[in-house]
Amino acid sequence: MLTIDFARFPIGPGDRVLDVGCGSGRHAVEAHRRGATALAVDLDEVALKGITGLDAPSAPILADGTRLPLPDASMTHVILSEILEHVHQHQLLLAEAARVLVPGGRLAVSVPRWFPERVCWLLSKPYHQVAGGHIRIYRRTELRRLITGAGLVLDGHHHAHGLHAPYWWLKCLVGVDRETRLVRHYHDLLVHEIIHGPWPTPALARALDAVVGKSLVVYARKPQ
């Protein structure tokens, strides 16, 4: 399941892509599939070992995103997908992303959208009060300010995963650790969407993303 729209964030052969806080590495693997050299960075060694589909020179790297072991201006693209909301030093993370980008390089950032996330926090404390959980909720204006504060130029935004917000509201209502029949059926719907494409149609899926998309995605460039 991709959160970044690669039509808006084009990647191809010769590009050098850094996926910070990569988790399962889904964006790094997609960048590698498109011909780029992709580095998947995370502090979770178990998650990194589970990544498949990255062949040299692409690679998983165990590292702290606020202290990247990379030279200045070494990457053409940087992805920060669903990671800023977990990091206390989020400004430093964005500064490191800007540092390693080449002039003209592109950044993609995604975070939980304010309204869907706020509903989850109101419905359930265990949803976010866990080790390594979400420590803040971003409004779009705040995220844009942080990105421009790192010296980058904004280049558009959109929302993603419209079906996911109601799913997490349901999980928060019944208990994030409980798996009821309704939760299982909803999960099956999400799996169907991942495998078969936008549900029920691409146009309706885009409309749902705009209204209740769970993720806010912002794109930016490093000035030449």
Question: Residues with catalytic annotation?
Answer: 82
Handedness of CA 170, 174, 179, 185 (dihedral sign): negative
C-alpha R_g of the chain: 17
How many other CB atoms are there within 10 angstroms of residue 172's CB atom? 19
For residue 57, is the peptide bond before it cis, meaning its omega torsion is within 30 degrees of 0? yes
**Cα 109 to Cα 220: distance, rounded to the nearest angstrom:** 8
Residue 73 backbone phi and psi in degrees, to 5: 50, 45
Give the residue among 90, 72, 70 at the shortest CA–CA distance from 80: 90
